[in-house]
Amino acid sequence: MTGNRRDFIWQSFASVAGLTASGIIPSAELARGLNNTLHPEEIIIKPEKRPAPTESIRFSVIGLNHDHIYGMVSALIGGGGKLVAVYSKEADLQQAFLKRYPDAKVARSEAEIIGDNSIQLVASASIPVDRAPLGVRVMQSGKDYMTDKPGILTLEQLDEVKRVQKQTKRIYSIMYSERFGNPAAVQAGEFLRSGAIGKVVQTIGLGPHRMRPQTRPAWFFDPDKAGGILCDIGSHQSDQFLFYTGSREAEVNFAQIGNFNTSEYPRYQDFGDMSVRSPLATGYIRIDWFTPDGLNTWGDGRMFILGTEGYIELRKYADIAGREGGNHLFLVDKKETKYYNCTNVYMPYGEQLVSDVVNRTETAMTQDHCFLATELALKAQKMAFKITG
């Protein structure tokens, strides 16, 4: 079978070469056709001329245990937020934060921030197991809450967060940064809204990450404190599946986790995959901590969106085919293949969240969507088959 396939391929190349040599297909024309298919012309999306945000809030930060807090704060400030104060149990993390944001007041305790009625929102990237309980306290104080993912670590925490959110009517927003913080991911949503590839049938999300044990704190390797790999990185992918397919309900088909290369931490998981489905579409998710040092960024995150009339591929952080930087989007429809450089695409999450706090709306993300994305990841983590590796 392999031999027959190889013979067929070589015969095909020979046929094309023969037609080219005979003049039936001009060689220059053939080269242009192949080049346009494999290397489509770059379309650079120009930055929008946007007015400054018209609304503003006062917000503070509690918990600096993951560097995602910097992207979160930048999104809020860019969206019209004013950073008031910061509190961290770890003095070194607080000192590093103040170098970036020297005007932030240093709070003496968590209670000082939560008790300040002038603060409208609290943002946190604390140790994951502490994020949901902090969010409950923040909402009960009458404030909205923005947390890094995983924003909730167990189904029991999810039940409590949902109960308090419903009771207080406050916002509990988890920043799924692989969508909210990536220009190509934002642009993909715009293309889908315009019907560029028809109805979405399936998403395939690949989320590889780099992991150097010496750079990670002890809590990172403890699933009871950090959640497992599906709970953590899987929540990014669950969010994207729901968003790109327009699904408001979904379930997990299967889930698997494994520890293949981190034997010094036997409870840690360096690989996971899962399948989800909704009445509208299906999704496959694969995540790992195996990004090799030879890649010039932390992970070759990719998203494939299959539609009835075309497909989109996102190369979010790298294009190993040779294009520099990240934010690459490829779109194939019935007419042609296009490549978009999405670096200049505006990311609206921060401004939308600020507006939601002021106007009590759900433009950044609905609360149901936020919770469902996390619920899928939590259920997958709980049911996951353990591969021994």
103: which DSSP letter? Answer: T
Report whether 202 contacts 244 (CB < 8 A). no
Residues 352 and 40: their CA atoms lie apart, in Å, by 34
Give start-end residues of each CATH 3.40.50.720 domain in the chain: 57-175
Adjacent-strand bridge partners of 337: 332
Q: What would the two tokens of residue 363 be?
A: 């433009």
Distance separating alpha carbons of residues 62 and 138, to the nearest angstrom? 10
Q: Using an 8 Å Cβ cutoff, are 171 and 145 in contact?
A: yes
d(CA 84, CA 337): 47
The confidence score (pLDDT) of residue 48 equals 87
User: In the chain, which segments carry CATH 3.30.360.10?
Assistant: 179-348+379-387
pLDDT of res. 41: 87
User: What's the pLDDT at 27?
Assistant: 53
| Cα-Cα-Cα-Cα dihedral sign, residues 164, 166, 170, 172 | positive
- 167: tokens are 């009771």
3-state secondary structure of 377: helix
Scanning the chain, the segments in alpha helix (DSSP H) are: 2-21, 27-38, 68-78, 91-100, 110-114, 128-140, 155-168, 177-180, 183-193, 223-226, 229-245, 349-359, 367-383
Please, what CATH class does the domain formed by 179-348+379-387 belong to? alpha beta
Residue ranges of the chain with per-residue pLDDT less than 50: 1-3, 5-6, 8-10, 12-26, 29-32, 34
Q: Please give the CATH architecture assigned to the domain spanning 57-175.
A: 3-Layer(aba) Sandwich (3.40)
